[in-house]
Amino acid sequence: MPTIPPGRAPGPRPQPHELRSVAESFGIDVERYDRTRPRYPTELLARIIDHGPGRTVLDVGCGTGILARQLQAAGCTVTGVEPDARMAALARRSGVPVEVATLEDWDPAGTSFDVVVAGQAWHWVDPVAGAAKAARVLRPGGRLAALWNVMQPPPEVTDAFATAYQRVAPDTSFAVGTPAQHAYRALTDKAIDGLRQAGGFAPAEQWRTEWDQPYDRAAWLDQLPTHGTLTTLDAERQAEVVREVGAAIDALGGSMTVHYTTVALTAVRTAAATGRA
């Protein structure tokens, strides 16, 4: 599922039709998405699993199965829910059972889980209805964990991206210029409020893991077109942004290190679901 642009955040609030367009654009190149998107820190995943009552997991907005496969490797039984049939098909090919639906519309058919996770996806879920559905399918003591990888490339690269993007797409609401950490704080605040309104959860916590990932020019430019600000651009404008970012990486010697903060917003189910889902 989508992320904020590398190292930056949306400026003006995108319009609903723009959000739908972005949401529907991630299945355009599912192989690239699956190949290039960052994984999640194993120690953070272990903490989430170890603080749950068991190892049956629902992966909300599972995309191509990146997070689900990591959880399977850790010994979990994972079921995915994904609205994009193209992404769900790749996840199935990689061994993840997936139902094509949004969380809000998905019918759990009486199933329950020890853990509900969402990797780069909870901001696409209605914060109240999604929390209520999570409470409905979680066993008592089960844990909800929404994860985001917040990336911070070197400033030379983020500046090149912002300059090129604002030139080729000056009319979009996805203006870049605010530090990514601020945008993710807004996402977590919205999710926390949704949990509070839905009920059935203990107060939310935020768990963070810091890590670094080296990229050469080819690897970063391979990932770049999978981000939401670029997936909806035509090929010519997308290529122009990629070209300028590549030049910035060349100026750094052809490689760089991207700093990541993986944020897990997590809460324990403590009471019966409210019936809103």
Rounded (5°) CA angle 95-100-102: 125
pLDDT of residue 151: 92
Pull the structure tokens for residue 157: 């690269």
Q: Count CB neighbours of 12 within 10 A.
A: 9
Q: Residue 185: its pLDDT value, please?
A: 85
Please, which pLDDT band fits residue 22 given cuts at 50, 70 and 90? Answer: very low
Ramachandran angles phi, psi of 270, nearest 5°: -120, -15
- 20, pLDDT greater than 80: no
pLDDT of amino acid 17: 40
Instruction: Return the closest-CA partner of residue 114 out of 272, 268, 246.
Output: 268
Q: In the 8-state DSSP scheme, what is residue 201?
A: B
What value does the mean pLDDT take over residues 85-110? Answer: 97
Least confident of 17-26, 76-85, 87-96: 17-26
Angle at 210 between CA 67 and CA 50, to 5 degrees: 50
Other beta carbons within 10 angstroms of residue 233's beta carbon come to 18
pLDDT band at 160 (very low <50, low <70, confident <90, very high): very high
Q: Residue 62 CB: number of other CB atoms within 10 A?
A: 31
- The whole model's pTM is what? 0.87
Mean pLDDT of 99-119: 97
Q: What's the Cα-to-Cα distance from 144 to each of 106, 140, 214, rounded to whole Å?
A: 17, 11, 30
Which pLDDT value is given to residue 96?
98
What is the average per-residue pLDDT within 181-202? 90
Look up tokens 């909806």; give the residue. Answer: 232
Task: Tell me how far apart the alpha carbons of residues 71 and 118 are, in angstroms, rounded to a whole number.
Answer: 12
Phi and psi torsions of 152, nearest 5°: -135, 90
Task: Note whether 242 and 55 are within 8 A (CB).
Answer: no
DSSP letter, residue 81? E
Phi and psi dihedrals of 149, rounded to 5? -90, 110
User: Residue 95's closest CA among 64, 117, 123, 131?
Assistant: 64
Within 8 A by CB and 6+ apart from 183, the residues are 4, 9, 10
> In this structure, what token pair is assigned to residue 115?
């853990």
Average pLDDT on 243-268 reads 97
The predicted model gives 172-199 an average pLDDT of 79
